[in-house]
Structure 1
């Protein structure tokens, strides 16, 4: 939309918005380094834009600059204390830095501000699992699934938590649901293969490991575990071939 110069045209604001939008566009096409230049310029022209700080934080996070990303999320929260996405993304960065308690506090805040934040429940569940709070993690995955029944990763993660509690049949159901929702879900095939192997279903485990290999040819763990299952079934030559492939990778 064209700017009407007679109605309070703000050169800095519109220039900042142009840099901001160009940064967003560059982010969409993967120009990570160039993105920072545009967000820096947008912030210089409009230092009260919480969204620009958030997006610059996201760009820094993608570049592996986790602590610098947190600094930007902090500033976004300083400018807008009700910014659920800023708390959520700060939680991701804290989690990546091994600051699990801080991450949970951030996810809590994001959920308090947006009770339908499925990804916040999902990642809080992961953080709780990391602390050994398995039942609490399952409750978070349940909540994420209630909000978004098509969130395949939540089923996979809930399957992991149930497997840790010895609930193998329930874990299998979750992995299968994750696969139904996302045919290319390598983690779900791999985890279902592990669970089937532990239940003594060696042939079925081999089928799942083979699917992982079909979708990700360089997955050494899948070759190794498929070798174990084949060895247990007396398929020694095929097992040796899988072990060799795992070693080569």
Structure 2
């Protein structure tokens, strides 16, 4: 509940208690990592995501979350590996394609950015998420224009 209210420090305290009660629950670490991420503690978030992956190495969301934290730490290679692992686990996980496209965009890799945004757009459309579909299409239009970096 505290996460939803934006009280990330309070949420971390709650997740600390949850971890004491259930130390083998990957989702407590993942959720605490998310709260740390929201507070800008990307190293702490990555540490929590690592622990969550140790407990559950088959959750695409955890890999996607760690990839986002790795991006913030300028570990782009690690982030791409994590996005790819998330997609391997859950091939229809549109957010990982979108996030990977955004990373490639930031790296000035237009071709890979387009490929990932196209895949994200298709998945969002097939899943009925028209808002995210439109955002991906808008990004594609920008990438396909001759002035894409302006």
- TM norm structure 2: 0.89
Distance in 2 (CA, whole Å) between partners of 1:159 and 1:91 is 25
Residue number in structure 2 paired with 1:32: 8
Alignment of 1:52-131 (within 5 A): 52-131=28-107
Residue number in structure 2 paired with 1:156: 138
Q: 1:135 aligns with which of 111, 114, 136?
A: 111
Distance in 2 (CA, whole Å) between partners of 1:158 and 1:93 is 24
Distance in 1 (CA, whole Å) between partners of 2:135 and 2:69 is 19
Which runs of at least 4 in structure 1 moved beyond 6 Å after TM superposition?
none
Q: CA deviation at 1:130?
A: 2.5
Distance in 1 (CA, whole Å) between partners of 2:16 and 2:42 is 17
Stretches of structure 2 lacking an aligned partner (at least 5 in a row): none
Question: Helix, strand or coil: the match of 2:142?
Answer: helix
Greater relative contact order structure (CA < 8 Å, 6+ sep): 2
Deviations along 1:114-171, one digit per CA (max 9) or x if unpaired, are 01111100011111223332112101101001011321331232233223xx2x6xx8
Stretches of structure 1 lacking an aligned partner (at least 5 in a row): 1-24, 172-190, 195-249
Alignment of 1:162-177 (within 5 A): 162-163=144-145, 166=146
Which of the pair has more CA radius of gyration?
1
- TM norm structure 1: 0.55
Distance in 1 (CA, whole Å) between partners of 2:25 and 2:82 is 21
1:76 and 1:83 in contact (8 A); partners too? no
Question: Helix, strand or coil: the match of 1:88?
Answer: helix
* RMSD, aligned CA: 1.7
1:39 and 1:55 in contact (8 A); partners too? yes
Residue number in structure 1 paired with 2:25: 49
Q: CA deviation at 1:82?
A: 0.4
1:141 and 1:158 in contact (8 A); partners too? yes
The number of aligned residues is 144
